[in-house]
Chain A
Amino acid sequence: ILNVEQSPQSLHVQEGDSTNFTCSFPSSNFYALHWYRWETAKSPEALFVMTLNGDEKKKGRISATLNTKEGYSYLYIKGSQPEDSATYLCAFIGGGATNKLIFGTGTLLAVQP
């Protein structure tokens, strides 16, 4: 059974703080890693699709890095704003199944004004 873990489970920061969280996944048979942002009462929205070791992606104040050899990805948010409050999900594709996504349980970020 493939396991995808995210840490921390939840995070409370003040507006303006920078923060980061981790997604850990199996390092063998890696195909891709997705990051999604999920606001309460809405649908998950795609942030990044990452496929290559060493990949770095950026979207505004949010960026992500990927290390496929050691099996982790970091998501960074610079200068957190209240509107960044959401659950951040990662999804691993690999292990021989190129069309199945294995999601982590997410990191819940709360940004206080």
Chain B
Amino acid sequence: EAQVTQNPRYLITVTGKKLTVTCSQNMNHEYMSWYRQDPGLGLRQIYYSMNVEVTDKGDVPEGYKVSRKEKRNFPLILESPSPNQTSLYFCASSLRVQVSTDTQYFGPGTRLTVL
């Protein structure tokens, strides 16, 4: 089944404890992206990647890192999480690099709480 998977789906952690949220797609998509969803703010883009080893900042990249060593995987890394990173996170992918003309497929979401 064609899909975007994220792990974990739920995570409660403490301030400063490094964590990684994994994202994987099995559709051979070029473009991958991370978003966070906060009440009243809509989906905000954190980072995106147009290909292996090509990543760029979205609107809210502070406090996050990403890597794209393989086409299918795009992990989101929080080196030192803080409570303001408590949010619902979505990974998404698109077939083509030009996401403007291509639909995105979203993962199931990861609800992160940082105490």
One of A39-47, A65-73, A78-86 contacting the partner? A39-47
Would A103 and B90 count as touching, CB distance under 8 A? no
Contact of A34 among B48, B50, B103 (CB under 8 A): B103
A111 at the interface (CB under 8 A from B): no
Contact of A100 among B59, B90, B105 (CB under 8 A): B59
Which residues, 85 to 115 on B, are CB-close (under 8 Å) to A?
90, 97-109
With CB as the reference atom, state the residue of chain A lying closest to B31: A99
A63 at the interface (CB under 8 A from B): no
**Measured between C-beta atoms, what is the minimum distance from A28 to chain B in Å?**
15
* Chain B contacts to A: CB under 8 angstroms: 4, 31, 33, 35, 40-45, 48, 50, 56, 58-59, 90, 97-109
Would A98 and B98 count as touching, CB distance under 8 A? yes
Would A106 and B42 count as touching, CB distance under 8 A? yes
A51 at the interface (CB under 8 A from B): yes
* Chain A contacts to B: CB under 8 angstroms: 4, 31-32, 34, 36, 42-46, 49, 51, 89, 91, 93, 98-106
Would B45 and A101 count as touching, CB distance under 8 A? yes
Would A46 and B105 count as touching, CB distance under 8 A? yes
**Measured between C-beta atoms, what is the minimum distance from A23 to chain B in Å?**
11
A100, B48: Cα distance in complex, Å = 8
**Measured between C-beta atoms, what is the minimum distance from B96 to chain A in Å?**
10
A104, B44: Cα distance in complex, Å = 9
Would B101 and A99 count as touching, CB distance under 8 A? no
Would A43 and B101 count as touching, CB distance under 8 A? no
A46, B95: Cα distance in complex, Å = 13
Q: Determine the chain B residues whose CB is within 8 A of the CB of A98 once the complex forms.
A: 98-100
Would A43 and B90 count as touching, CB distance under 8 A? yes
With CB as the reference atom, state the residue of chain B lying closest to A91: B43
With CB as the reference atom, state the residue of chain B lying closest to A32: B100
Would B42 and A100 count as touching, CB distance under 8 A? no
Would B90 and A44 count as touching, CB distance under 8 A? yes
Query: In the complex, which of the residues A34, A44, A102 has the most CB atoms of chain B within 10 Å of its own CB atom?
Result: A44
Would A105 and B98 count as touching, CB distance under 8 A? no
With CB as the reference atom, state the residue of chain A lying closest to B33: A101
